[in-house]
């Protein structure tokens, strides 16, 4: 009888593109079977922090809080240059103008909030954070329910159509600050499963991603199903932007980027990272 591995990733096109073959059974992880949950990034962060998932897509910010129990895979993550979250406003203003204002974020454990918090610290401003599901943030800015918002995913491509203004590109801010690509999310696996299983899952994710590259039309119905009302051109731009070479393997530079951001998260949140490997060794 096969052991069931609980796996979670988001319904966003980059994740469904990467994991389609695993979800469909075209790629298997013998002798395991997968119990897959698709959820918003902050919900996934909560699942991982509670230990409810064996394998889970997490924000790198959230990863700082689970490194004792989880190790990161080298494949399946979202990282790159020019891929970071955007800080949007309804009217033109400066960073200083946001002092004391209400700012929407897609969850306190997201990398987006980490980057925004680091920027606020550098700018010496304090704001009131308002947590929302990511797709509610742009409407909230437009309706003036908040003064600004940190937008992720397809918001990068669609905000201008909503009459919003880009105050800052938080990914570019990180790149200028660190000289490294921005690691948005990684795939975490429970350390207790052991290195052999972790390497097997990592290889399966690479195979799943490769199959989508080879025949993206096979994955398209699954991607489209979970992308809700997103326009086809936006879906394809989303995949092109957030599925990068780092999604196949983080590489040395990717390791450095994740390590640097984890350290920043630990300092900001007042926690200590365990003296354990961050990534599986393969």
Q: Which fold has domain 86-178?
A: D-Maltodextrin-Binding Protein; domain 2 (3.40.190)
229 pLDDT tier (thresholds 50, 70, 90): low
pLDDT at 242 over 80: yes
Q: Which one has a higher pLDDT value, 129 or 228?
A: 129
Burial pattern 140-169, b for ≥16 Cβ within 10 A else e, equals bbbeeebbbbbbbbbbbbbbeeeebbebbb
The CA distances from residue 90 to 99, 161, 240, in Å, are 16, 12, 28
Q: pLDDT, tens digit, for every residue of 136-184?
A: 999 999 999 999 999 987 778 888 888 999 999 999 999 998 999 999 9
Same fold, 3-80+183-269 and 86-178: yes
Mean pLDDT of 112-121: 93
Mean pLDDT of 5-31: 96
Half-sphere exposure for 226 (CA within 13 Å, toward CB): 20
The CA distances from residue 187 to 62, 69, 118, in Å, are 11, 13, 23
pLDDT reported for residue 161: 85
Mean pLDDT of 104-124: 92
pLDDT reported for residue 147: 95
Tokens describing residue 13: 């096109």
Mean pLDDT of 269-273: 96
Residue in the block written with tokens 């399946």: 76
The residue extents of the domains of the chain are 3-80+183-269, 86-178
Half-sphere exposure for 50 (CA within 13 Å, toward CB): 8
Between helix 111-123 and helix 170-178 the angle, nearest 10°, is 70
Q: List the CATH code of the domain at 3-80+183-269.
A: 3.40.190.10
Report which of 85, 41, 81, 1 is spatially closest to residue 188, judged by C-alpha positions: 41
1 pLDDT tier (thresholds 50, 70, 90): low
Q: Any idea which residues carry the catalytic annotation?
A: 153
């Amino acid at each position: 009888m096969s052991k069931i591995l609980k796996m979670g990733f988001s319904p966003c096109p980059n994740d469904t593109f990467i994991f389609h073959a695993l979800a469909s059974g075209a790629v298997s992880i013998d002798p395991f079977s997968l119990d897959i949950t698709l959820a918003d990034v902050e919900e996934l962060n909560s699942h991982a922090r509670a230990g409810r998932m064996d394998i889970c897509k997490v924000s790198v910010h959230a990863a700082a809080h689970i490194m004792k129990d989880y190790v990161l895979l080298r494949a399946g993550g979202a990282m790159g240059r020019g891929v970071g979250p955007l800080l949007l406003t309804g009217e033109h203003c400066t960073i200083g103008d946001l002092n004391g204002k209400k700012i929407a974020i897609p969850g306190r454990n997201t990398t987006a909030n980490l980057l925004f918090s680091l920027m606020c610290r550098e700018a010496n401003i304090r704001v009131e954070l308002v947590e929302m599901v990511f797709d509610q943030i742009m409407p909230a800015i437009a309706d003036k329910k908040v003064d600004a918002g940190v937008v992720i995913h397809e918001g990068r491509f669609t905000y201008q159509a909503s009459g919003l203004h880009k105050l800052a590109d938080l990914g570019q801010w990180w790149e200028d600050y660190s000289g490294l690509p921005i690691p948005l999310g990684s795939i975490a696996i429970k350390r207790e499963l052991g290195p052999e299983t972790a390497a097997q899952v990592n290889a399966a994710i690479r195979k799943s991603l490769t199959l989508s590259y080879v025949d993206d039309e096979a994955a398209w119905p699954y991607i489209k199903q979970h992308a809700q009302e997103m326009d086809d051109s936006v879906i394809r731009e989303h995949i092109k932007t957030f599925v990068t070479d780092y999604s196949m393997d983080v590489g040395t530079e990717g390791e450095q980027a994740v390590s640097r951001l984890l350290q920043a998260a630990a300092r900001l949140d007042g926690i200590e990272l365990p003296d354990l490997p961050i990534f599986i060794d393969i």
